[in-house]
Amino acid sequence: MSSGRLGRWAHRHARWLFPAPAVLLVAVIIVYPIAYTVWMSLQEWFASSLTAPHFIGLANYRKIALADARFQEAVGRTVYFTIVAVGAETVLGLAMALLFNRQFWGRGLLRTLAILPMVATPTAIGLVFVMMYHPSLGVANYLLSVVGLSPWRWTYSSQTALYALAMVDVWQWTPLIMLIALAGLASLPREPYEAAHLDGASTLRAFWHITLPLLRPALVVAVLFRAIDALKTFDIIFVMTQGGPANASETINILLFNQAFSYFNMGYASSMAVALFAVVMGASLILIKVRRTTTW
Amino acid sequence: MVRGGAGRRRLSTAAFYALAGLFMLPTVFVFYWMITLSLKPQVEATAYPPSFVRFSVTAAGYREVFTKYPFFLYTWNSLVVAAGCTALGLAVGLPAAYSIARWRQQRLAVVILVARIIPGIAYLIPWYIFFRRLRMVDTYGALILTHLIVSLPIIIWVMISFFEDVPAELEDAALIDGCSYLGVFWRIALPLVKPGVVATAILSFVFSWNNFLFSVILAGRSTRTLPIAVYTMISYEEINWGTLAAAATLITLPVLVVALLAQRHIVSGLTFGAVKQ
C-alpha cells in the first residue's frame, strides 16, 4: 500500500473512512426517503394532479385513526394474519425441531429441503398456489376429497382467503423456525435433564419446565423475525388475491399500495405507511421485551 | 444433545422416518407439482382428477414462455439488477461491516437494523416520486438503488459477525509491521472471511432476484424483471397452466440452485446474524 501523505491521512481516519460510503448511501436511500414519507404524511397531495402538496397537519392521521373503517379493518386483518401464520409456524417448527433433534441418516438432505421454500421466489410460489387452490381443477381440493373432506374455496372465498394465504406463508417459513429451534436445541446443556430424570419427571414435564424455557431466547428471535416480515407481507397477497375477494385479504400493505399507486393519494398513503411502521415497531419492541424478561 | 437425557421415549426408526416424511411432504410436493405441471400438455394440466405420476411430457409450456413473451429480456434484466445490486452492496457494505466489527460502532449497526424493520413500502412512495421527477422510472439505476435497501443491511449484518471472528492479534501484528488499515482489511481480514463474502453475495443476489414490491412500480417495459413478468402473465393474458408453471419453474430454479451453494449461511442471513449455523 502507498504510504504517502494521503495514505497516512487515510490510515489515521480509517474508522470514519471505512463506513463513510455506506453511511452516505444509507442516508440517501434510507434516511432521506423516510423523512420524506413522514413529511408527506402531513400533506394532502395527489400525484396525478397538477396542484402542489398542501400542508394539513395531522389530518391524515386523524382520518386513519378515527374515520377510515376500511383502514381499521386492514389493521386488524394484518395482525390476525400475522398471529395465525406465525403461530402455526412456531408450533409446527418447534414440533419438527424436536423430532429432528437426533442423529439420523439424511440430516443434510433435511436442511437442504428446509432451505428451498425460504429462498424460492414468492411471486412464483404464489402463482403455483393459485393453480393448486383452484376450486374445481386444483389439486388441493382433490387431495381433500381423497381423505374424505369436503372441498374448500381457498383464496376464492372471502371466508377462507386469509387462511389460504397464511398457509402459503406457513409453507414458506416454518423451516426457518425449525432451523433456529434446532440450533437452539443443539446447544442445550444435559445436566438439567439428568436431574429431572433422577427426580422421576415425565417427558412432558421436562419439556415444559426445562426445554421450553431454555429454548425461549432462540424462539423469541425466530418469532420476532417472522412477525416483522409477516406484518409486511405483500408479494403473495398481491399476486394471489390483490386483497380480495371483497377486501377479505386486504392488509395494511395492500390497502396503502392501492392508495399510493392506483389513486396516487400520496399524502394519505404516507400516513398509512407511518402507521404500518408503528405496528411493526410495536410488535418488535414487545417481542424484544419478552426476550429480556426471560429468566435463563 | 438432549437425546436420552431428556427422558424421551425413543421413536422406532420406522416411525421416525414416517413422521419425517409426513412433515417434509408439503415442501417437496409444491415443487414437484410446479415442475410436473410445467411439463404437462394443457389438457392434462387442468385434468380432474389430476395425474400425479403418469402423464405425457411436453416442452410446449417452456417453448411458449420464450416465444410469446420476451423472457430472455426479463431474465437479462433480473441478472443485471441482481448482479449490480450485489456488486455495489459488497463494495460499500464490506468496509462498513469491517469497521463496525473492529471499532464497535454499535450505533451504525442499530440504524441499519432499523432499516430492515421499516416496511419497504415506506421507501417506495418517496422513491417513486423522485424517480418520476428525475425521469428514472424504468432504468436499471432505479432498480439497483432500491434493491440495495434490502440487500445492504443483510450484507452488513451478516458480515459483521464474520469480521468479528477474525483474530485481533493477527491484525495487530500486521499493524505493528507498518501495514495500514486498508492493507489489513484487504490482505488479512478479507481473505479470511471469503466464505462469508460468497454467502452474503448469494443472499443479496437471491433477495434482489425475488424482489417484487420495488420492481412492480419502478420497472417499465424495458427493465421488467422476472417476478413482474409472472405477475403480468397471471393478471392479464395467460390461462394455460403449463405455461404459467413453466415460467414459475424458470424463475425459481436458478435461485434454488444458487442458494444451495450457500446453505450453511442462509439461516444466519435470514435472521440477520442472530443465529449462526
Quote the cell numbers at residue B1. 444433545
Cβ-Cβ contacts under 8 Å, A207 against chain B: 6
Can you tell me the distance from the alpha carbon of A86 to that of B132, in angstroms, rounded to the nearest whole number?
37
Chain A residue at shortest CA distance from B213: A235
Is B189 within 8 Å of chain A by CB? no
Is A154 within 8 Å of chain B by CB? no
Can you tell me the distance from the alpha carbon of A217 to that of A288, in angstroms, rounded to the nearest whole number?
10
Quote the cell numbers at residue A38. 413522514
User: Residue B102: which residues within 8 A CB-CB, separation 6 or more?
Assistant: A15, B163, B171
Chain A, 10 to 29: residues with Cβ < 8 Å from chain B are 10-11, 14-15, 18-19, 21-23, 25-26, 29
Would the pLDDT of A14 be above 80? yes
Cβ-Cβ contacts under 8 Å, A274 against chain B: 122
Is A107 within 8 Å of chain B by CB? no
Chain A, 227 to 266: residues with Cβ < 8 Å from chain B are 228, 231-232, 234-235, 238-239, 253, 256-257, 260-261, 266
Nearest to A212 by CA among A104, A90, A107: A90
Would the pLDDT of A200 be above 90? no
Can you tell me the distance from the alpha carbon of A19 to that of B93, in angstroms, rounded to the nearest whole number?
8
What is the overall mean pLDDT for chain A?
Answer: 89
Quote the cell numbers at residue B113. 437494523
pLDDT in tens, B171-191: 888 888 888 888 889 888 999
Task: Check if the beta carbon of residue B272 is closer than 8 Å to that of residue B161.
Answer: no
Is B100 within 8 Å of chain A by CB? yes
Is B108 within 8 Å of chain A by CB? yes
pLDDT in tens, A126-177: 999 999 999 888 899 999 999 988 888 999 999 999 999 999 999 999 999 9
What pLDDT does B2 receive? Answer: 42
Which residue of B98, B180, B251 is in closest CB contact with A121?
B251
Location of C-alpha cell 374424505: A148
Can you tell me the distance from the alpha carbon of A101 to that of B82, in angstroms, rounded to the nearest whole number?
36
The whole-model pTM stands at 0.90
Task: Check if the beta carbon of residue B273 is closer than 8 Å to that of residue B97.
Answer: no
Torsion region of B256: left, alpha or beta (phi above 0 gives left; psi -120 to 50 gives alpha): alpha
Handedness of CA A137, A141, A145, A151 (dihedral sign): negative
Quote the cell numbers at residue A273. 405507511
* Total length of chain A: 296
Single-letter amino acid code for the residue at A3: S
φ, ψ (nearest 5 deg) of residue A70: -65, -40
* Interchain pair A121, B252: CB under 8 A: yes
- Whether ipTM > 0.85 holds is yes
Cβ-Cβ contacts under 8 Å, A97 against chain B: none
Residue A194, helix vs strand vs coil: helix
In three-state form (DSSP H/G/I as H, E/B as E, the rest C), the secondary structure along chain B is: CCCCCCCCCCCCHHHHHHHHHHHHHHHHHHHHHHHHHHHCCHHHHCCCCCCCCCCCCCCHHHHHHHHHCCHHHHHHHHHHHHHHHHHHHHHHHHHHHHHHHHHCCHHHHHHHHHHHHCCHHHHHHHHHHHHHHCCCCCCHHHHHHHHHHHHHHHHHHHHHHHHHCCCHHHHHHHHHCCCCHHHHHHHHHHHHCHHHHHHHHHHHHHHHHHCCHHHHHHCCCCCCCHHHHHHHHHHHHCCCHHHHHHHHHHHHHHHHHHHHHCHHHHHHHHCCCCCCC
Would the pLDDT of A1 be above 50? no
Pairing of the two strands A54-55 and A43-44: antiparallel
- Strands (DSSP E) found in chain A: 43-44, 54-55
Averages of pLDDT over runs of 10 residues in chain B (277 residues) are: 47 88 94 94 84 85 89 94 96 95 88 87 92 91 93 90 87 85 88 88 92 93 91 74 92 89 72 59
Mutate to test the interface with A, among B117, B175, B188 (most CBs of A within 10 A): B117
Chain A, 66 to 105: residues with Cβ < 8 Å from chain B are 92, 95-96, 99-104
Cβ-Cβ contacts under 8 Å, B266 against chain A: 115, 118-119
* Percent of chain A residues past pLDDT 70, beyond the cut: 97
Is A183 within 8 Å of chain B by CB? yes
What pLDDT does A291 receive? Answer: 67
Nearest to A17 by CA among A33, A4, A3, A6: A6
Which residue of B50, B93, B275 is in closest CB contact with A22?
B93
Task: Check if the beta carbon of residue A178 is closer than 8 Å to that of residue A114.
Answer: yes
- Strands (DSSP E) found in A43-124: 43-44, 54-55
**CA of B54 vs chain A CAs: smallest distance (Å):** 15
pLDDT in tens, A228-259: 999 999 999 999 998 889 899 999 999 999 99
What pLDDT does B5 receive? Answer: 42
What pLDDT does A268 receive? Answer: 93
For A196, the enclosing helix (H) or strand (E) is helix A191-198
Task: Check if the beta carbon of residue A162 is closer than 8 Å to that of residue A81.
Answer: yes
What pLDDT does B3 receive? Answer: 45
pLDDT in tens, A43-66: 998 888 778 888 998 989 998 888
pLDDT in tens, A91-107: 999 999 999 988 888 88
Single-letter amino acid code for the residue at B42: Q
Is A122 within 8 Å of chain B by CB? yes
